[in-house]
Structures are given as C-alpha cells and as structure tokens.
Amino acid sequence: MMFANVFLILLAYYFIKPLREGWIAVSDVEGLSKMEVKAYSSFVQSIVLLFVVGWYARLADRWDRVTLFTRATLFCISNMVLFWFLQPSFFFEELPLSGIVYYLWVGMFGVFVVAQFWTFCADIYTNERGKRMLPFIAIGATSGAAAGSWLVDQLVKSGLVPTEALLLVAIAPLLISIILVRKVEQREGQRAGLIDETAADQDAGTAAKPEKASIWSGAKLVLVSKFLLLAALVTLFTNWVNTNGENLLFRVIQESLAVTAQEQAVAAGQPMLEFIRDGTTTFYGNFYFWVNIVALLLQAFVASRLLKYGGFAAILLILPVIALMSYSVMALLPVLAVVKLMKIAENATDYSLNNTSRHVLWLPVSSAMKFRGKPAIDTLYVRLGDGLAAITVLVGVHVLALATAEFFAFNVFLVLCWLVAGVLLVREHRRASEAG
C-alpha cells in the first residue's frame, strides 16, 4: 500500500511539474534574463517556505498524522483547480506573473504532499524495518515519476488530453492516495499504539511538554544537535549544487532555442513565445523521462544492495562523488548535449540512491524530531539552497560576468564542501544508531 501510495503521488507530481518549466519560460520580467527569472523565483520560494514550514509545524502539533495528510492534500487539490483556470491561452491569453506564482506553488506542493508522505513513512517504521522497506517503497516513487513523465508525453501528443487539462487529471491519483494512507494508518497505527502505550506507562510524569511550534521552530531546531546541523548542511549543499546546475541547464536550453529560432526565422511576438514555451516543455518532458527511467533502474537494482553491502555511508556519499565528476566535465564542455547527459546522471542518482539515503537518515531519531526536523530540513533548507543559487546567479551575472563554464567550475568547489559535510554526517548517524 505504501508502494502504491507514493507511486500515485509522484505520478500526479509529474503531471504538474513539466507545466512549471514551460510556464516560467514565457513569464518574462523586463531587465532580467530567463535564467534570472527562474533563479529569483526559487529565492522567493525559499522565503515563502519559511512561513509555510512554521505553519505546517503548528498543524502537525494540532492534528494527528492521517488528518494532517488528508487535509493538506485536499488543500493542494483545490489549488490545482484554481491554477487550471489561470493557465496561459486558456481563459486568459496572458496573465502577468502567473507563471512565477505557479512556480512558487509547485514548491508548496512538495511540502504538503511529497515531503509529508516520507515523514509519514519514516514515522511508521522502526530502524530495522525501515532499512528493509524504504528502498522498496522508493521504487514506487521513481516508477511513479517515470510513468507520469511518459504519460504526459503520450496524452498530449495523442490529443486525448490537452495541456491545460493535465492539472485536472492529476487530481485522481491524489484522491486515491488519501484512501491508501488511511488504510495504512489503520494497520500500522494499531501496532504502533501498543508500543506507545508501553512507553507511556514507563515514562509517565517524566516527559516535558513539547515547545509550541512557531514559524521559526523548524529553522531553530537544527541548532539543538550536531546531527541535525550536519543534516541541514548536507541538504543545503545538495540543493545549492543541484539548483545551480538546473539554472545553468535552463540557460543553455534558452540559448539553444534562440539559435534554433533564428535559423528557422520564427517571427517575434506570440509565435516566438509559443516556440519557446513548446520547445522548453518538450525538452523537459524528454529530460524528466530519461532521468526517471535511470532513477528507476538504480532504485530497483542498486539502492537496496548498496545500502546492504556499503551501508549508509556508501548510499549518502555516492551522489557528491558523481556530481564532482559531472560538473568537472561540464566545466570543460558546457554544450547542451553534454550538460543534458551529465544532469541526467546527477538527477537520476539524486532521485534514487540519494532519495533513499535521505529517508534512512531519519530512522534512528524520535517521532517528534521527525515531524519537526525532517519537514524543516527537507523543505526550508532545500529552499535555502535555492536562495543561495539565486545569489550565485545575481553575483555571477551582474558582478563577475561569469561565463557558463565558470559557473560550472564554482559548482565543483561547492561539491567538495558537500563531501566534507557528508563524511561528518555519516559519523553522527552511526552514533545515533548505536544510541538508539
């Protein structure tokens, strides 16, 4: 049921995500390049998420986990219906900044649906059960993402589902996921309840009342232990590096489309906007398809074996090692074919092996820490990485005037810092496992 649940969630997510790239590509802001619009939107998203994570922490204190999941998912579904009305060339020819607002919302979806599933998953399994089950469940995530990418391409090409209807189609798997979560809660909740009652009898009268969640509680939580601080740093470096790479890929794509449009003598105005939007959406549809296919293969045949024989260290550190090699190659050859290939390798590893390591990381810690620390780190510190990537674009474009190859070289330096933080986190995880 957990496998099917995450399959449906990621299936829906990849109906939503390709629309983001095409929509942001035609959301021009005067005086800014397309890469800057994308990067600065990510920075605004990180600020908004600071408040969203605090709000989510308050809801986690107030509601039980299945109520939280249900209501958060229904909230996102209502938003999807609203954005369905606002899409370009649907009810409105062009609504200013609507693409940027949608870009920000996709980040919110990651908090309320994707991240909360993995928090729920980490909470219902013990350390040993989780190490056995999480790699298998993660196959559901990667296969759902691959299926979603493929279905979007097939449905739109066939004409069965117009592009503007994809948001409505994505509602169905999300509704089914709510039903599955409630069924899992009925089974696993009863088992966990027996353990919780025993622990409560032993600890009655000794537990302190938890601090009330606030907007800043998730951000401040990482300061209470070295484990959480290092987890936050690894997450921040991971996303800073990856978002820099995504922004540079977007830059190379737009440069390539501009050359192609000039060669094909595409007229300015609406024809040019449609050419850019369709070209960007098509590229990312193909890109996400191959990323998710490779991720599915890695998740199915490598993740569990690497975790079993190499341990947590191997599965955590493999992504920065691959990123180090990839960005070194991209710094030497910053052309679209090479950048696409290297980013497929990096993202596929991130979505499979590194995704598994992120969830195994939390198995030894308490339930309270999971529902406060994990959402904060998985969302707030991920988006802070986006913010630092935006600052990288700002300084690199307007102050240092860096070429694309020089941006990639800076990413190599960030990956080295990421490796150091990762090695230290492996040590802390080992200590937490022994203490647990």
Give pLDDT, residue 4: 94
Kindly provide the b/e burial profile for residues 11-41, where b requires at least 16 CB atoms within 10 angstroms of the residue's own CB.
Answer: bbbbbbbbbbbbbbbbbbeeeebbbbbbbbb
**Residue length, the chain?**
436
Of the given ranges (65-69, 132-136, 160-164, 391-395), which has the lowest mean pLDDT? 160-164
Give pLDDT, residue 210: 43
Q: What is the CA radius of gyration of the chain?
A: 22
Give pLDDT, residue 96: 67
Give pLDDT, residue 220: 65
Nearest Cα to Cα of residue 28 among 255, 392, 263, 277: 277
Nearest Cα to Cα of residue 46 among 322, 432, 400, 381: 381
If one counts the domains in the chain, the total is 1
Give pLDDT, residue 91: 65
Give the C-alpha separation, 43 to 389, whole Å: 8
Mean pLDDT of 174-186: 91
Mean pLDDT of 187-212: 49
Assess if residue 232 is contained within a domain: yes
Per-residue pLDDT reduced to its tens digit, 273-331: 778 877 887 788 788 889 989 988 998 889 889 988 999 999 999 999 999 999 999 99
Per-residue pLDDT reduced to its tens digit, 209-253: 444 444 455 556 677 778 888 999 999 999 999 999 999 998 999
Assess if residue 308 is contained within a domain: yes
Of the given ranges (180-189, 276-285, 382-391), which has the lowest mean pLDDT? 276-285
Beta bridge partners of 88: 92
Give pLDDT, residue 346: 96
Of the given ranges (119-133, 203-217, 241-255, 407-421), which has the lowest mean pLDDT? 203-217
Assess if residue 181 is contained within a domain: yes
Give the C-alpha separation, 56 to 215, whole Å: 9
Give the C-alpha separation, 240 to 237, whole Å: 5
The enclosing domain of 250 has a CATH number of 1.20.1250.20
Q: In this model, does residue 396 exceed pLDDT 70?
A: yes
Q: In this model, does residue 206 exceed pLDDT 70?
A: no
Alpha-carbon distances, residue 93 vs 61, 162, 326 (angstroms)? 43, 16, 40
At residue 325, what is the residue type? M
Residue 383 — pLDDT band, cuts 50, 70, 90?
confident
* Secondary structure letter of residue 161 according to DSSP: S
Of the given ranges (360-364, 391-395, 418-422), which has the lowest mean pLDDT? 360-364
Which domain range does residue 137 map to?
2-193+213-435
Q: How far from the centroid of its chain's Cα atoms is residue 412's Cα?
A: 22
Assess if residue 199 is contained within a domain: no
Q: In this model, does residue 374 exceed pLDDT 90?
A: no
Q: How far from the centroid of its chain's Cα atoms is residue 16's Cα?
A: 13
Assess if residue 204 is contained within a domain: no
Assess if residue 200 is contained within a domain: no
Residues of the chain with pLDDT > 90, as a percent, come to 28
Q: For residues 57 and 171, which has the higher predicted lDDT (pLDDT)?
A: 171
